[in-house]
Amino acid sequence: MAAQEPLLKIEDLWVSVEGKDILKGVNLTINPGEVHAIMGRNGSGKSTLSYTLMGHPRYSINRGSILFKGEEIGDLPPDERAKKGLALAFQYPVAIPGVSVSNFLRASVKAVRGKEIPVKEFRQELKAQMALLEVKDEFLSRYINDGFSGGEKKRLEILQMTLLKPALAVLDETDSGLDIDALKVVSSGINTLATKETAVLLITHYQRILNYVKPDFVHVFQSGQIVKTGGSELSEELEERGYDWVTQELTPSGVA
Amino acid sequence: MVKTIAKERVDEITKQTAEPAWLKESRLKAFESYLKIPTPCNRDENWRRTEVDALDLSTLNVVVSDSKEKSAAKEPAVVTEALSHLGKNLPYIYTTPQSVEIGNADSALLSKGVIFCSLKTALAQHADLLSKYLAPENLPTPDFAQNDKFYLMNQSLFNCGAFLYVPKNVILESPVLNVLSSGVETSIALFPRVIIIVEQGAKAEFVNICTADKTKAADASESLSLVNSSIETYVGANGNLSYLDVSDFSSNTFAVSRVYNEVRKDGSLHASTVALGGWQIKSDIQTNLKEPGSKSDIRGVVLGSGSERYSFNTIQDHISPDTTSTINFRVALKESSSSAYLGTIRVSKEAQRTDSYQSNKNLLLGSNAHADSIPKLEILADDVKCAHGATVGPADKEQIFYLMSRGLSLLEAEELIVTGFFRQVVQSCPVDGAGDWINALVADKIHS
């Protein structure tokens, strides 16, 4: 057998939105079960990367490739990517009034697993995950994200990740807008999620969440590129010295 | 086209049926007015986006079923389906061009002086009671009574329908059903008329279903049929009526309906109308809040596909002070279907402290779908609360992306969004089980 195939291999990825280049040559390799963190300032293109991975139609890939499980997914619609084992927890999940969380979760799990799950079995699985995330039962009959607090939205996102059990979960600023208690609950959800079967790509601009979730790799994102990669110690260094430190290190004159 | 209907038709009806003299007079009077009024065309504000020209009245066969109503031998499938959601063994009337059947007439609901029967039977057995509402001098005067050719056509030719009477302080906890099926017939004209009377302090639920035998789909426009209905509801002081209308006509049916609701002191009316199919559906719904404290809550769900056309015209008429009305109309249009909604809020000079709300939302799913929404406010009182809003647009792209990122195909995502869009207005429908039933009907049509 050859060496293990990477789960995700992004090579020289260039992406634009409405004609403006946002990603400018991203390279990233994630192996099964690894936890990666991407850190960077607001506006550095982190969210563009997550949307592009999931296939948002607004983002056009101009160059490069995204290989997922060895297959190019750049042209696939989002639902096909989800079925292949890719999932995205949104930074700003939208509300869908009139559609109950329970109906949606069942439809989604059925679509991704490709088969009907017996109601009872699904209920049990759901209740177990909900307990873990300290989500109340009444959540299920509410409409998707409709009138949810910031914390509730993020819990629902992680709940979905734990039900879908993707091979790669991309978590886009899942920590933003959470108070310290909610952050602990959500982090423990992420730690349950991150197993041999599920790799995690955590996108954040605070080091805070990395006190609870230990990444194998930390990448610094700047101006549409990964400019520095290290172990979990890199995040602490960033916290101490700020993003300017990376900028200065890369451009000795200090002019980025 | 739209050649006229001959007077002989009216004579035929009055001859064949043992109707009281005042009704014959009423029919002839309506017919005279009918003749004087020009046929509407799509330049008329109220008839925009309706294609009247394709209808040739002179070729239509006016169905006059002379068979007496009889007990139903076997429950029709459409009734079984409805009852599976609304409750078993509910009384129903099932009318087709050939027959009128009554089911579950032994229901306990029909006691304490409650009358539920075909209009023909009601005219034979309860003429005095009906004359209070149908005699020429007692007829209501909704806007469409003045100059609407189709309303007058119904008033002169109505030949089937139902009657519900709920006496003072009698409470009907479950609905009664009135079902009209045009069967597999083509080139027919049906003129149903439904009269619902809820007396002081009484409570009733009424479900009206219009359908066809769709197993043998007719070719549209080649053999058009007309279903021209009139529905009149009267809610007495402190009375309460929940009315649900489901229209699922065949693709060759031109359906016109005129609904007149009248609510007395502190009475309340909930009416939901669900339109799911037909070549064209043109419906006017006028609600007169006649006495202080009366309330109305009207909801609409329209799901169009193919080249179907829908046109709804609602009038919330606040005649008395301290009256409340709300309207929520939601329209989703697939393919090249279209809808025109015209919503009037009218507040008379006397109707101080009126509270009125009107909302019309349109979801365009098909790239050739089209929706118009026109609010019209005629407010003469100075102490009123009046709000209205309308939206027209495609399904939200971010919602679709969110759902697709969770494995749903584009079609599945749209379906979920549409069911959610409608669920918000049907879930709280006061008829038990109606919310789930409507959701199921909507899901069926989306999948078809």
Distance from CA of A163 to the nearest CA of B (A): 11
Q: Give the pLDDT of residue B66.
A: 60
**Interface contact flag, A98 B397, Cβ < 8 Å:** no
| Nearest chain A residue to B420, by CA | A98
pLDDT of residue A255: 46
B405–A112 CB contact, under 8 Å = no
pLDDT value for A247? 75
Q: Would you call B420 and A94 a contact, using CB atoms and an 8 Å cutoff?
A: no
Q: Which residue of A has its CA nearest to B409?
A: A79
Interface with chain B: mutation pick from A17, A47, A94, highest number of B CBs within 10 Å: A94
Distance (Å, whole) CA A80 – CA B107: 53
Chain B: nearest CA to A241, how far in angstroms? 36
pLDDT tens per residue across span B324-376: 999 999 999 999 999 999 999 999 999 999 999 999 999 999 999 999 999 99
Contact A94 B402 (CB under 8 A): yes
User: Residue A63 corresponds to which tokens in the numbers above?
Assistant: 């160059």
The pLDDT value given to residue B210: 95
Burial class (CB in 10 A: 0-12, 13-18, 19+), A105: buried
Residue of A nearest to B397 (CA): A57
Q: Nearest CB to A97: which of B403, B409, B424?
A: B424
CB contact under 8 A, B420 and A98: yes
Q: Which residue has the higher pLDDT, B293 or A241?
A: B293
Tracing tokens 């300032």 back to the chain, one arrives at A41
The three-state secondary structure class of B100 is strand
Of the pLDDT bands very low, low, confident and very high (cuts 50, 70, 90), residue B161 is very high
Nearest chain A CA: its distance from B299 CA (Å): 15
How high does pLDDT run on average in chain A? 91
Burial B59-98 (b: 16+ CB within 10 A, else e): ebebbebeeebeebeebbebbebbbebbeeebbbbbbbbe
CA distance A237 to chain B (A): 34
pLDDT at residue A256 tops 50: no
Closest by Cβ to A143, choosing from B402, B410, B420: B420
Structure token digits, residue A103: 């109906």
Q: CB–CB of B417 and A99 under 8 A?
A: yes
Q: Mutate which of B399, B403, B415, B427 to disrupt the A interface (most A C-beta within 10 Å)? A: B403
Q: Could you give phi then psi for residue A43, rounded to 5 degrees?
A: 85, 5
Closest CA to A151 of A126, A127, A174, A128: A174
Please check the confidence at residue B3 and state whether its pLDDT lies above 90.
no
Give mean pLDDT, residues A116-129: 91
Across the interface, whether the CB atoms of B423 and A98 are under 8 A apart is answered: yes
Task: Provide the pLDDT for residue B101.
Answer: 92
Q: Which fold has domain A8-93+167-250?
A: Rossmann fold (3.40.50)
In the predicted structure, residue A206 carries a pLDDT above the cut 90: no
Distance CA A133, CA A115 (A): 25
Number of CB pairs < 8 Å for A and B? 79
- Which chain A residue lies closest to B404 (C-alpha atoms)? A79
User: Which residue's entry shows tokens 């696939």?
Assistant: A76
Length of chain A: 256
Segment among A85-89, B49-53, B65-69 with least mean pLDDT: B65-69
Give the CA distances from residue B291 to residues B233, B238, B321, in Å, rounded to whole numbers and listed in that order. 15, 11, 7
CB contact under 8 A, A164 and B407: yes
pLDDT in tens, A24-43: 999 999 999 999 999 998 88
> Is the Cβ–Cβ distance between B242 and B215 less than 8 Å?
no
- Tell me if residue B204 falls in helix, strand or coil: strand
Residue B13 has pLDDT above 80, yes or no: no
Tell me the mean pLDDT in the region B272-300.
96
ipTM score for this prediction: 0.95
Domain ranges for chain A: 8-93+167-250
Chain A residues with CB under 8 Å of a chain B CB are: 54-57, 77-79, 81-83, 87-88, 90, 93-94, 96-99, 103-104, 107-108, 111-112, 143, 160, 164
Least confident of B48-52, B123-127, B138-142, B236-240: B48-52
Mean of the per-residue pLDDT values of chain B: 90
pLDDT at A82: 98
Per-residue confidence (pLDDT) for residue B219, from 0 to 100:
56
Please give the residue that has the higher pLDDT: either B15 or A56: A56
Mean pLDDT of the region B238-259: 94
Query: Given this model, what pLDDT does residue A1 score?
Result: 43
